[in-house]
Structures are given as structure tokens and as C-alpha cells.
Amino acid sequence: MSTQTPLGIGHGFGLRKLLIIASWLAGSQIIGRAFIVFDDADLAEQSLGLLTWGLLFEVISWAAVPIFTWYFVYLIKRGCALRQLFLWTVVLAAVSEIPYDLVSEGSFFSLASQNPVWALAMSIILLTAIQYTQPLPQLARIVILVCVFAAAVFWLILLSIGVRLGIAPLGVLVIGFFFIFYYLWDQENRMMLSTGGFGAVMFMTPGIGVVFLHYRAPLIQQDTLVSRIWMWCYPIVLGVAGLVFYFFT
């Protein structure tokens, strides 16, 4: 069967197909939540079968991370202003926080983990810092960037950005993918090998997400950008699922 898109960008996955795949993968988190609630009290009461299925779907959802991160880098490479992208990302992260807590922790507010969209916002801050410090003397630039990156790591750890199951640091994963994609954008083989290896080391399934990117359409740079409306599906779907879990489980 041909996978050629109607826009003539070649055989392979276009933007919409990639985002649909990533959305389905991310949705596995909700399916996993239907089997298991990720806190100590509930884990002790779950059967081994439910735990296994819940953890399986949770881990599958991590494969969406490289695809969504790649799309943010794609927007930057297509000329989207960093300031505008940062503002939209912060708004999305803020709106998604309560729905994320409902699905992940079963409460309207939790400090156990914050949604991984915040890591995308942090990635943009770090990239901006790198760009703005380029004219500075080398020593001054190194000192500033070390401080900025140290603050970012501290923020990720302190607020548990994207931490899943208490051990999987999806926030760190997002930032790692972001900079690999950004700096190896024009070196396809190195980019795919680096991100695939990075994803495999970080709990394996993110590396599977990279496979879908490898089979993207060769002329995807010419594809029509997807409407901003799609990004609101994340908090809406999480919110609906979270309310169902909160009131009926």
C-alpha cells in the first residue's frame, strides 16, 4: 500500500500521520491508568496481571516523546519564533497540569510529577540562552550556560518534570531529544542513530518512536503545518479521562 501523501511530499509519514501516531501512543498512558493507579496504596492492592498490563501501556506511551519533541524542533526550523512558541508551550503546559494530575495521581493537585510539556518550555529557554550568549567572550559564555543548565536540571529534579512511576525522567528525555534533533537536523543518519540510541538507553520504548520518524516523508519540510487546535487535544483528552477515573474508580 502506498503511503504517499496528497501534498506530494514523497512516500512516508507526513506531519499529520506522525502526530496521529504520537497521539495514539501517548493515549496508551490513559489505557494503562485504567488498569492501575500509580501510588503505593493502590499498587499493594492490585493483582499482578493488572500491574503488568498497566505498566505495559504506560511504557508504550513513552514512545510518543521523540515524535512530539521532533515536531517542536520542526516548528523552529520552519521559522516559528521562539518567543511565540515558548508562550504557547507555557500556556499548554499550564492548562494541562490539572488534567495530568487527575490521570497520573487521581487528584486535582499533586507535586509528585508535573507534565512533560514543561520540559519543552525549558528546552526553548536553554536554546535561547545558547543563542543569546554567542556574542559573549568564551569564558563568560561558559559560566552563564553552566549556571543556566544547572538551574534547568535543578528545576527538573525539584518539580519532578515528566517523572513517571517515580523512576522514568521523561523531562530529561525531552530535553535530550530536543537538542539532538536541533543540532543534528541536517545530518539524518547521525540524528537517527543518536536519538535511537538515546531512546533505547532511556527505557527502550522511546527508541521505537524514533523508528516512525525514520520513515517520515523525505520532503516533509514542505508539508502544510498542522493547526494549533491539535495541541489542545492533550489537556482535553486528559481532562475527560481524569474526571472519569476520579469519579467512577
Strand (E) or helix (H) holding 142:
helix 138-158
245: amino acid identity, one letter: F
For residue 42, how many C-alpha atoms fall within 13 Å in the half-sphere facing its CB?
15
Cell of residue 93, nine digits: 503546559
Query: Residue 164: beta bridge partners?
Result: 168
Q: What is the model's pLDDT at position 8?
A: 54
Asked if pLDDT for residue 226 goes beyond 90, the answer is no
Q: What is the model's pLDDT at position 7?
A: 47
**What are the tens digits of pLDDT across the range 38-81?**
555 556 666 777 788 888 998 999 999 999 999 999 999 998 99
List, as one string, the DSSP characters of 8-25: ---SSB-HHHHHHHHHHH
> Is 203 strand, coil or helix?
coil
Average pLDDT of the segment spanning 116-123: 94
Average pLDDT of the segment spanning 130-159: 89
Average pLDDT of the segment spanning 92-114: 87
**What are the tens digits of pLDDT across the range 10-21?**
678 889 999 999
Q: What is the model's pLDDT at position 121?
A: 95
Tally of CB atoms within 10 A around 121 = 22
Cell of residue 185, nine digits: 537536523
- Provide the CA 242 distance to its chain's centre, in angstroms: 19
Contact 96, 238 (CB under 8 A): yes
Query: Residue 114: beta bridge partners?
Result: 161
Q: What is the CA radius of gyration of the chain?
A: 19
Q: What is the model's pLDDT at position 66?
A: 95
Q: What is the model's pLDDT at position 2?
A: 47
Asked if pLDDT for residue 147 goes beyond 50, the answer is yes
The more confident residue out of 101 and 166 is: 101
Asked if pLDDT for residue 6 goes beyond 60, the answer is no
Distance CA 34, CA 108 (A): 17
Distance CA 124, CA 88 (A): 11
Contact 59, 65 (CB under 8 A): no
**What are the tens digits of pLDDT across the range 154-200?**
888 888 888 887 777 888 899 999 999 999 999 989 999 999 999 88
CA angle, residues 50, 55, 59, in degrees to nearest 5:
155
DSSP state of 161: B
The more confident residue out of 107 and 40 is: 107
Residue 122, Cβ density class (10 Å: 0-12 exposed, 13-18 middle, ≥19 buried): buried
> How sure is the predictor about 109, in pLDDT bands with cuts at 50, 70 and 90?
confident
Q: What is the model's pLDDT at position 86?
A: 95
> Is 169 strand, coil or helix?
strand
